[in-house]
Structure 1
Amino acid sequence: MDIVNIVREELAGIGYPHNVVKTAQVRALSAQIFRTLPDKNISAVLTLSEALLDIEGWAGWVISYDWAFRVRKQYTRDTFFIFERWLKTYVRDWGDCDDFCTHALGELIAQHNDLYELTTAWVDHENFAVRRAAAVVLIYPIMKGRYAETLPLKTADLLFSDEHYLVQKGYGWMLKVLSKKEPDTVINYLESHYQEMPRTAFRYAMEKLDKNTRRRLMAL
């Protein structure tokens, strides 16, 4: 039996898709099946992962992005073009955007900061989830302290006027994470842009700042 059918059968065994299952259950199943894969070379794993993206529903996507993350030690710069194609082909909502970008795709950018400039082209994509990805993909590198050659504020500038509230939340979230590393950078950015910045992004960005600073910014 091929791996995709094994995944389908195992998912059915925990009740998916007819019953509600928890993400933790799917991730546990993902780890279990991954251990049994006969070939863990990145090429073989990403081929299987892409096949899983065709399984209807979020569980297949969770497993796919999890497996892609598990071969992170084998990433090269060329992996970016596979992941970018997945992003533009399969990602359609904020949930799969965030799962992919805060694990596999984010790790790739953390490893190769020079690929950052390629992500800035996403800000013009017709799919809001791809535009959101331009910001969310920086969250993992920032959290890990591996973002020195990226430009989070440039990304915020590029997305600044995006009208989709989930894109606004996306770059607000990125700024919020950045504020834990560089609070003064984010405070200065918010002080400089408070008049025109969408309030959704503004509020998200300040959430991790100290209480007095949040109060002062909200009063601007």
Structure 2
Amino acid sequence: MNHDILEEIDFKLANHTILFSDMTILIKKKKLYDLKYFSYYESWLYKYVDSWGKCDVFCYRVLNPMIQKYPNLYEHIKKWAHSEQIYVRRAAPVSLIISSQNFSVNYDVDKILEICNLLKNDNHIHVQKGIGWLLKYAYLSYPESIKDYLIRNKQDISKITFTYALEKMPMTLKMQLKKY
């Protein structure tokens, strides 16, 4: 039955008869977070996610709950980081951010940093902001690891990524990191 719902959503997305945000709400409401549905979600990422807004909503409402529930999906995240599509690449870091009342990150820090390393030379501003956003919230869970990463990689990451990553840090630490 749920496959029928997903097939109908796919048809409506393809024919522009359902709003992308409505689709994400429906998935959340129906709690369609089973591994057997992931192939739908990944295909939608490639077919329909064509802006940072769609990317972020899709990551929060669909991809992140799947990734939190099924950590073995990490290999897919790494694959997204190599995509030619901008917003598929952006989904790699953004899908690791939990959106509830506050944003947070509780994924394995080594895997977070691996995704950042895969994307740190990406030239697209929306990918750079996605990496910075991930680092900003990862800092709240892993302050020393993120601080060390920024010190080691300051010359390799974009100014935008670096600036976003500093946003949740105390002012004294921000000033210290800017001096490196």
Q: TM-score, normalised by structure 2?
A: 0.89
* 2:177 alignment counterpart: 217
1:163, distance to aligned residue in structure 2 (A): 0.7
* 2:21 alignment counterpart: 62
- Give the count of matched residue pairs: 178
C-alpha distance in 2, partners of 1:150/1:103?
Answer: 24
* 1:177 alignment counterpart: 137
C-alpha distance in 2, partners of 1:146/1:76?
Answer: 20
C-alpha distance in 1, partners of 2:109/2:149?
Answer: 19
The answer to whether the 8 A contact 1:194-1:202 is kept is yes
Q: Pick from 77, 86, 106: which aligns with 1:128?
A: 86
- Alpha carbons of 1:150 and 1:84: their partners in 2 closer, same or farther (altered >3 Å)? farther
C-alpha distance in 2, partners of 1:130/1:178?
Answer: 20
Letter of the aligned partner of 2:26 in structure 1? W
C-alpha distance in 2, partners of 1:170/1:156?
Answer: 9
1:198, distance to aligned residue in structure 2 (A): 0.8
Q: TM-score, normalised by structure 1?
A: 0.74
Question: Sequence identity of aligned pairs in percent?
Answer: 30
C-alpha distance in 2, partners of 1:76/1:147?
Answer: 19
C-alpha distance in 1, partners of 2:78/2:123?
Answer: 17
The answer to whether the 8 A contact 2:133-2:165 is kept is yes
5 Å matches for 1:55-94? Answer: 56=16, 60-72=19-31, 74-94=32-52
Letter of the aligned partner of 1:47 in structure 2? E
The answer to whether the 8 A contact 1:116-1:150 is kept is no
* 2:97 alignment counterpart: 139
Higher relative contact order (CA 8 A, sep 6+): 2
C-alpha distance in 1, partners of 2:87/2:127?
Answer: 7
C-alpha distance in 2, partners of 1:79/1:218?
Answer: 44
The answer to whether the 8 A contact 1:49-1:68 is kept is no
C-alpha distance in 1, partners of 2:153/2:106?
Answer: 26
* 1:48 alignment counterpart: 8
Q: Confirm whether residue 106 of structure 1 aligns to residue 77 of structure 2.
A: no
* 1:32 alignment counterpart: none
C-alpha distance in 2, partners of 1:120/1:209?
Answer: 27
What CA deviation, in whole Å up to 9, does each residue of 1:84-112 have, x standing for no partner? 10000111111100000011111000101
Whose Rg is larger?
Answer: 1
CA RMSD of aligned residues (A): 2.2
- Alpha carbons of 1:196 and 1:130: their partners in 2 closer, same or farther (altered >3 Å)? same
1:55, distance to aligned residue in structure 2 (A): 5.5
Farther off after superposition, 158-167 or 140-149: 140-149
What CA deviation, in whole Å up to 9, does each residue of 1:125-159 have, x standing for no partner? 11100100011110128956652497110000000
Unaligned runs of 5+ in 2: none
1:65, distance to aligned residue in structure 2 (A): 1.1
Unaligned runs of 5+ in 1: 1-40
The answer to whether the 8 A contact 1:111-1:146 is kept is no
C-alpha distance in 2, partners of 1:205/1:78?
Answer: 35
Runs of 4+ in 1 over 4 A off after TM superposition: 141-146
